[in-house]
Structure 1
């Protein structure tokens, strides 16, 4: 399979990249890791007239940690973010989710911000950003704007990114004090897109009682779905909380679609089971933190 013809742009500065994107408009695509874009081109599911390759732009491959959380640059590879011990200490959900992304060879090339830009509701990083209430920064020749995860993902493979904009980084906030997180999913084969996945966050007070419990879901809705499940486990300690009840609560709030990989009923069942599993693990991690 071969991609359709396109004009190739190789900017070496951010300003050059933004100028190129402004010039090509809706007929342009950004190439970073290319792990989603290249297959689409080869299968002729996308046919942009221009590719703007940002790999030569300096300063976009950072992974920085501060009191607010972790900021990931547009060219930071999944593998680099996963391997960053400071990032994992600040936001454990990053490493927990990234270890489930495809295979090592994909993580070595694919970018975390590129995954967010692709806006696939079956991708781990979209769920992680949504659960943490994170945001992305979009740059264009007109300036920069920060977009919350809640506003960024608007549909399957569809975001609120505007023509001529480039995602330059993503911010993953630190979980609240006393919190633990976990990420679990089920796929037909390791590395495949999950039939259902759950990222969970549980917060405990000083007496180790649950004050908040939330979960984000992949592969069950058009966008990464976040549900507040506190009511099912509030005020209980991790060893007495009824996490299975939280799973049953989720089942009544989901309306997944079936496909060749799993029926809607099976996806709902997975969401119930994986919710209990992820919340239990997240609560245990909160105790250990």
Structure 2
């Protein structure tokens, strides 16, 4: 595992935990997907016939951009406020978790932000296309998650780079740098990285303010209960399977009874010894030798 992967995973868990606490405090249900690869969308062969009738990321592919190869860091599906697409950048994480936190250099923040904006615009294009048959005018908003960059620094970076400020404002739908920063989730709205699980009432207040600016200020009247369930079923139902790489191999996501039975059979097939044999191996003396002609075992 590279250090950059470790930083990103830590930042993702940090943001996800805070969003979970926000949902608990607001008593509102929402689905939050992380690291959604568009190539995995409706990828199960059993649903191929039905998926062929629905919008797919590959339909947007061009010679210059292959949308189906991309992914998005966060997709939040809310019943009343629509869909939120977010890009996460862990710039500043190594300094933020030290004993003497130091903010990342402005030039590093600018590089990550411009990259995040390009990824964000691409993700928003794909997600809007995927739900176009459900409701063409459905609200899809965008945000940047910068858990180790303060709002003050982000605003300074935008003020010092007019081109970057223009790109961020156009992407987020803001009039100026100050308004754009309000639509981003920065370190001011999140818990401390050294104890990210400790979400204080003050943090929840700041996070709720960001939520109000970005999502809660508008209710998507086009999103009915049936449409909401349809979207959730596509993104997190059995037709879309996500494989998560880990140290001991790929972890399989089990969503249906059939998948559970198949996974159980796969694991049983991997067993070399029976439970009785394992018990024998663990008795004292720990090793037991059986000798004899073929068939003795």
- TM-score interval, smaller chain: under 0.3
Please report the TM-score for the alignment, with normalisation by the length of structure 1.
Answer: 0.26
Higher strand share: 1
Please report the TM-score for the alignment, with normalisation by the length of structure 2.
Answer: 0.26
Larger radius of gyration: 2
Higher helix share: 2
Higher relative contact order (CA 8 A, sep 6+): 2
